[in-house]
Every structure is written in C-alpha cells, then in structure tokens.
C-alpha cells in the first residue's frame, strides 16, 4: 500500500462495474491536490471515469452568509476522488496509481537533493547573501512543491522542455529545468505498467471467491445448455437425412417396379416414371405428451348424486305392485296426476 493514497474496498455500483473512493491523506493541501491531479491524469489513460466529490464547509453557517462573510457553503474536495470502471480496468488503475505516486515523490525528493547540493556549492553564494536558515527552509519546501507540480504536468502530457540551467538565476526559480533533469535521469515514469499479481489481488478484493465460483458455474451451465442444443440439432439433421434416404430407396424400388410393369404392358411412353410423385414431407418428431395429474374428484353413482343434491324420486303404487306381486304391506302415498306427470318411470 502506498503512503500517499488510501484505497478502501471497491463497491459494485452496477452489474460488472465497480467504484472506489480514493483519499489523499498527506498533511499539505497543495500536495494532496497534486496527488489528486496524478490520479486524474491516470484515469484518462486507463479508461476509467473519475469525479471529484463535493464537500461541505464546516465553518459555514447561515448567519455568516447573512452577515456577508467570505465563507463559502462548500466546494470540490481535492483530497478525494471517486473512480468507476470495470473490474480489471479499475484494479489495473489502482496498481498503477500506487506505483506512479511513489515514483513521482521519489523524483521530487531527488530534485530536493539537487537543490541541497546547489546550496552548498560556490555558485549559490551570490544568491544566499540575504537568506537565512528559516527562509531557506521555506525556499526548499516551495521548490519541492514546484518540482512536483512540474512532474505532474509531465504525466498529463502537458509538459514542455524547460531548457538548461541559467547560472545568473537562483535554482529555486528554475524548478522546471531540475524536474527535466531528474525525469531524464530516471528514464521517465511508466504510466501503464502493472504487476499482474497485484492486479489479481485487487480483483480478489472486489469480487469475493463465492461470486467468482458462482459465475464459473453459470458459465459451465450455459456451455452445457448450448452443447445440448447443438446435439439436438445434430440428431434432427440425422433424422431428416435418414427419412430422405428411405424415401430415395422407396422411390428407386417403385421406379423399377413401374418400369418392369410398363415394359410388359407396352405403356412405358405413356407414363413417365416418378412424374406425379409428391415431394417428401418429413414428419415432426413425436411430441412427449405431459402426464396429467390424477383427478381428485371421484365418480358418484346417479342415485348417490341425486340423493346428495336433494332430489326425491317418486315411485307410483302400480310400480310397487309389479315389483312385489301384491299390495305392499307398507303404506304407499298417492301421487297426484300433476306430479306423476313429471315423475320418472320405475
């Protein structure tokens, strides 16, 4: 992990797309802004989208605004940067960002060493006559910030050659030339090289192993379904080809039989062979009829259904005499003619 940027665990903002909120924790706000510029320049190179979030001003209040204070409500937070992109693109960007920040800071430190060597040389004596230790500390701090800014400009391809040093000017005014010297001595900064193991480590932080395994199983299942579909198409082609072969064999046999019969009858010229035979129609494969669930409604006898429905069957007295051969010992009610009209026959 780099000491110049804090990288929390990326979160998935959309299917297959992740986002991370970078934080630049250095104490100097100007230095954090320069690190922010480095991250912004690398985002364009690696194809990820970067945006600076908005931050509220804790010193602002409604009463200060009413009184005409210069405190603003808020503004862009240069200490943070939100980056979004694909899994591998974002992981590669984070690896490159850590390495580039370390290398740029190392180049700025080398430039400060060049400035220290110049202070101890005889060429710096005319410019140090009115400088003391406190002012030189400020000069060194400002020189490092200016060199770092020039190096950041070089990363974003906006750097221009600053020329060679001018002995008639102090070195703190020639930070561009010193930045060019340390850049050329180090061979520049590679803005695209990334270690594959570090990229895989960042990808493992984004996508847990369970999700990776689920995606692998989904890919295997899709491949299995596709293989089954291709196998079904192959079997269908073989079935059609078999029907065509059988039809061709039957046609040859029929043509041979017709030719022999027509030759014996002397009518070969009147009936061309296979002229009126219909084209081959391959029937579709036999569909599999789905099994129906057994009905839970049982079948009732008509008498049981009539009894359950509340219907009463009226039997005339004549039918009772025919059934028993004599008058019944039990009383049989008389049926009115109107009711007998609608009574079913016994």
Give me the residue label for tokens 């979160």: 11
Give me the residue label for tokens 């999700």: 211
What is the three-state SS of 256-323?
HHHHHHHHHHCCCCCCCCCCCCCCCCCCCCCCCCCCCCCCCCCCCCHHHHHHHHCCCCCCCHHHHHHH
Q: Report pLDDT for 295.
A: 58
The rounded distance, in Å, linking the Cα atoms of 92 and 109 is 26
Structure token pair of residue 103:
């290398």
Q: Report pLDDT for 93.
A: 92
Q: Report pLDDT for 200.
A: 87
The rounded distance, in Å, linking the Cα atoms of 176 and 170 is 12
- pLDDT tier at 285 (50, 70, 90 boundaries)? low
By CB atoms closer than 10 A (0-12, 13-18, 19+), residue 262 is middle
Is the per-residue pLDDT at 244 higher than 90?
A: no
Q: What is the pTM of this model?
A: 0.56
Burial pattern 159-168, b for ≥16 Cβ within 10 A else e, equals beeeeeeeee
The torsion defined by the Cα of 218, 223, 226 and 231, in degrees rounded to 10, comes to -140
Is residue 196 within 8 A of residue 179, CB to CB? The reply is no
Give me the residue label for tokens 């899709």: 222
- Tell me if residue 63 falls in helix, strand or coil: helix
Q: Report pLDDT for 2.
A: 77
Structure token pair of residue 332:
């049989």
Query: Which residues, including other chains, have CB under 8 Å from residue 19's CB and lie 6 or more apart?
Result: 10, 11, 12, 13, 82, 83, 84
- pLDDT tier at 328 (50, 70, 90 boundaries)? low
Query: Which residues, including other chains, have CB under 8 Å from residue 145's CB and lie 6 or more apart?
Result: 28, 30, 31, 34
Structure token pair of residue 165:
């040093």
The rounded distance, in Å, linking the Cα atoms of 153 and 179 is 11
Is the per-residue pLDDT at 53 higher than 80?
A: yes
What number is the average pLDDT over the span 142-160?
Answer: 79
Give me the residue label for tokens 């199983």: 217
The rounded distance, in Å, linking the Cα atoms of 317 and 57 is 108
């Amino acid at each position: 992990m780099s000491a110049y940027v804090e990288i929390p665990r990326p979160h998935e903002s959309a299917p297959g797309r992740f986002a991370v909120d970078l934080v630049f924790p250095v104490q100097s706000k100007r230095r954090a802004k320069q690190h922010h510029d480095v991250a912004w320049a690398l985002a364009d190179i690696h194809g990820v989208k970067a945006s600076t979030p908005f931050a509220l001003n804790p010193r602002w209040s409604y009463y200060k605004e009413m009184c005409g204070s210069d405190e603003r409500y808020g503004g862009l937070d240069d200490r943070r940067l939100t980056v979004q992109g694909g899994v591998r693109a974002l992981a590669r960007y984070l690896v490159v960002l850590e390495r580039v920040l370390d290398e740029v800071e190392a180049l700025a430190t080398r430039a400060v060493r060049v400035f220290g060597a110049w202070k101890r040389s005889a060429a710096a004596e005319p410019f140090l006559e009115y400088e003391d230790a406190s002012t030189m500390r400020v000069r060194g701090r400002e020189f490092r910030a200016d060199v770092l800014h020039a190096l950041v400009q070089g990363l974003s391809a906006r750097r221009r050659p600053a020329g060679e040093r001018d002995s008639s000017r102090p070195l703190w005014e020639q930070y561009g030339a010193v930045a060019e010297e340390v850049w050329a001595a180090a061979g520049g900064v590679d803005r695209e090289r990334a270690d594959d193991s570090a990229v895989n480590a960042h990808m493992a932080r984004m996508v847990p192993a369970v999700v990776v395994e689920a995606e692998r199983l989904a890919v295997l299942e899709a491949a299995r379904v596709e293989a089954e579909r291709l196998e079904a198409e192959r079997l269908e082609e073989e079935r059609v080809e078999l029907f065509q072969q059988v039809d061709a064999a039957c046609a040859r046999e029929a043509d041979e039989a017709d030719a022999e019969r027509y030759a014996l009858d002397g009518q070969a010229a009147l009936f061309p062979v296979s002229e009126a035979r219909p084209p081959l129609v391959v029937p579709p494969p036999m569909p599999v009829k789905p099994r129906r669930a057994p009905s839970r409604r049982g079948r009732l006898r008509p008498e049981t259904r009539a009894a359950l429905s509340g219907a009463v069957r009226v039997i005339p007295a004549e039918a009772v005499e025919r059934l028993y051969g004599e008058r019944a010992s039990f009383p049989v009610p008389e049926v009115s003619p109107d009711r007998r009209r609608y009574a079913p026959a016994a």
